[in-house]
Amino acid sequence: MSTDSIHDYIEKNLSDKRKKHIEGVRKTAVYLADKYGEDREKADTAALFHDMFRGLSADVLNYYVKHLNLDSKYLDNVNLAHGKIAAIIMERDYGITDPDIIHAVSYHTTGRAGMSKLEKIVYIADAIEPGRSYPGVNDLRKAADTDLDQACLLSLSRTIDYVRSQGKYLDEDTLRARDDLLSKKVQEENINEK
């Protein structure tokens, strides 16, 4: 799968800050793919595409939301809309049809119930790439280095707490992702106790 055209798009259309972030996510995702036995090319591709629409204005993203027939909850919500738009465009305009890569891009900000290993890798790589600096990021990095599910669970829980504390819209996929991982953790603990 050639990523030359997305490299061209990134170079021509994104800010230096966004380029640095994407490169950080790409390197982190490939590292985690190697660590957890995931396809590094798929991780690389998803990371390159994940923020291709992140720097656009709300007006431009709203245009895409309407013309791509996305749910109206994405209107005026740059944080949630950009991944959904990127997932559709990467399939439509770049011919990437692997559902795992498409889901990894689509859900990289929210997570979802039943995330694949690739989805978890891109989700957590976005949260912990080297350019990220916020309270608790080092705890997430340590968790990601030992237990991918635990890292995702920790990140999702913190996101839920933060979004609620800000009084902003909390996507149901984030709640479902957290609950799904919590349920799996409880099942694993029950099995280990037997």
Higher pLDDT, residue 185 or 42? 42
User: What pLDDT, in 10s, does the model give residues 147-173?
Assistant: 999 999 999 999 999 999 999 889 999
Looking up residue 189, the CATH number of its domain turns out to be 1.10.3210.10
Compute the distance between CA of residue 28 and CA of residue 34 in angstroms, rounded to an integer: 10
Other CB atoms within a 10 A radius of the CB of residue 21 amount to: 21
Q: What's the total number of domains in the chain?
A: 1
- The answer to whether 36 and 145 have CB atoms below 8 angstroms apart is no
103-137 pLDDT, tens digit per residue, is 999 999 999 999 999 999 999 999 999 999 999 99
Token pair in block for residue 5: 């055209």
Q: Give per-residue pLDDT as tens, 62-73.
A: 999 999 999 999
Stretch 33-48: mean pLDDT, rounded?
98
Rounded distance, CA 22 to CA 17, Å? 9
Token output for 37? 């036995």
